[in-house]
Chain A
Amino acid sequence: MLNIVVALMPEAQPLIEALSLKRRADSTAFSVYSSPSCNLVVSGIGKCNSAAATTWLAALGANQDQVWLNAGIAGTRTEPLGSLFCAHSVEDQAQAKIWYPVQVASPLLSKPLLTTDAPVTDYNNNTLHDMEASGFISAALRFSSAELIQCAKVVSDNTDNPVSAITEPLVRELINDNTPLLQQYGEHLQTLADDLIRPDIDRMLHEFTSRWRFSVTQQRQLQRLLERHQLVIGELTTLPESLQKLRSTSSVLSWLREALSAVPYENAP
């Protein structure tokens, strides 16, 4: 699942259209748009709003290890309008705090990003300037892994094109022009996230937990034992009779351990 956090509707609109997202009626605090593979929340301006919207979106049902992308516009001194960068560092100017979003084979060029509490006209060389990223990243790190949490910014202002000249149609156009690249970037991050999907043992787990009542600790042990079983022996499609007749949960776990201890490791390239 790709979760996108944007500040304003003109930034959101081209993405909503390109990704065929539908407005969610169950989201009251922030406007959220969804498809089966993507959520987008419109946070409003500023790092506090961005943090709150990120947390809100996560609370609507995000699992661990999903992709989180803060997309939007940013200012920089010299880069031409419409250039797209991801951030390899995000510094919160007010808190003097810095994060390093981990870049894994990123298809985008990267730059440092400075989050400020007010719009900036005096750009530091080489640095992107925005007002949301630090709030987004500090919140998103509670819900996913650092490699899957990124900020991608389209240059909207520079020394020749001041922040005062930014209009809604311009923002829409800048994001719209970069939508294919943003989509590709989202797909790249999703490919990374797919690597973290755990083996699917839901059916087996359900079979066991509906038959026996395991404690929380035992459930964790059961989960791993079933994962191991699936890997080295195969899925337990039906429960053998010797297992079915067991009464205690600890004897069920022992049965699984016993079965697994009989299977040596086999090298398979």
Chain B
Amino acid sequence: MIQHIYVEREIASHPRTRQICDKFPNATIIDCDRYTSVFNSNAQNFRLQKKNPSLILARKHQNRVTATPAGYGIGGERNYYFSHMLNCLYDCRYCFLQGMYRSAHYVVFINYEDFIEDIKKTAADSEQPSWFFSGYDCDSLAMEPVTGFMKFALDEFAKQPLANLEIRTKSTQIRDLLGRDPIDNSVIAYSFTPDSTAKALEHKAPTVSKRIASLRKLQNHGWKTGLRLDPLIYSESFEQDYKTLLHDLFSHLDAAKIHSVSYGPFRLPKGFFKKMVKLYPREKLFASVLTENSAMVSYQSELEQYCQNFVESLLLSYIDESVLFPCS
């Protein structure tokens, strides 16, 4: 439960700020100048804050829409991401957000209209379709009952046929999606690791079976759906675990209707990894067979290649190569 809400003075009287604050009638409201003075201040501990994060309501002034890193995408030429929110309700131990941010507080940027304006402008720069990825710095749906962002964004995307939206999530908050007609230029993509990995590492996230059930409902409702097997986590039972996962997925979903499947290795920038180890020195995942090069921490290239090849060939027994996208 949110106990404290930091609110930038500039947006204190914005109707959306009030709506969100009203959802937490017992929370203490703390005013601040810029969210960065709370979120980026020194000597914070992400792990301790994760026990009970506060909410920060702010305005995002610039860099609302950014080109994705190379290798991130599902077949489009023009790929962008945007983050109406920073940080996540869930607590996946492999999540790079722990290494990237000093604070685990949830930041919600309430100027949704500005995000949509920037998305429209970016899409209008070309006659080619563009992809906009949500859920890069957060889970796209987990906080939807609080933010209502996707509800707002989908109405806008519906009017922008050249702008495609990927909603990436592990959340089962799909009531709004099931209560409306699907839009053609949006994909709801669920992230998965095998059940045993999810139980060990994806703390507070819905179980794999609940995610599959949500995905099935969305698919039956007519939404384009995607699977994201990213990161691939190696374990002793890797082969069996992924066989079981894919069997479970494709016995509940219509493989022919899957829009896209992507998969990628477990990799982290070295600085992020070091910070994560410091936060969780007892985490076995970080003590396992990983190797460092100058910039990244990952599995040794042979092991990484093996994981990718194995999952790829397994996937190809269920789906067509044209919907398969490796992430690098």
Contact = CB atoms under 8 A, between A and B. Distances in A.
A196 B48 contact: yes
Contacts of A109: 28
A102 interface: yes
Say what secondary structure dominates the interface of chain A. Answer: loop
Given A105-B51, A195-B47, A231 B282 contact: yes
B60 interface: no
A146 interface: yes
B235 A267 contact: yes
A199 B237 CA distance: 27
Interface in A62-112: 88-89, 98-100, 102-106, 109-110, 112
A163 B149 CA distance: 49
A98 B37 contact: yes
Contacts of A98: 32, 37
A224 B283 CA distance: 12
Contacts of A199: 281-282
Q: How many B residues touch the partner, as a band?
A: 35 or more
Contacts of B237: 267
B177 to A, nearest CB: 30
Given A102-B44, A260-B287, A267 B199 contact: yes
Nearest to B197: A267
Contact of B284 (A196, A261, A268): A268
B328 interface: no
B236 interface: yes
Given A89-B30, A102-B44, A263 B288 contact: yes
Contact of A263 (B52, B282, B289): B289
A56 B235 CA distance: 49
Interface in A251-269: 260-261, 263-269
Given A88-B28, A103-B4, A264-B289, A147 B49 contact: yes
A144 interface: yes
Nearest to B33: A98
B67 interface: no
A195 B282 CA distance: 11
A19 B170 CA distance: 47
B43 A146 contact: yes
Contact of A231 (B28, B234, B236, B287): B287
Contacts of B43: 141, 144-146
Nearest to B6: A100
Contacts of B42: 141, 146
Interface in B184-207: 196-197, 199-201
B205 to A, nearest CB: 13
A156 to B, nearest CB: 22
Given A99-B41, A261-B289, A104 B284 contact: no
Interface in B4-38: 4, 6, 28, 30, 32, 37-38
Interface in A184-198: 192, 195-196, 198
B116 interface: no
Interface string A141-171: 1001111100000000000000000000000
Nearest to A103: B4
Contacts of A146: 41-45
What are the 7 tightest A-B residue pairs by CB atom distance, in nearest-first order? A265-B288, A228-B287, A105-B52, A267-B200, A267-B196, A147-B48, A145-B45
Interface of B: 3-4, 6, 28, 30, 32, 37-38, 41-45, 47-49, 51-52, 54, 103, 196-197, 199-201, 233-237, 277, 281-282, 284-285, 287-289, 300
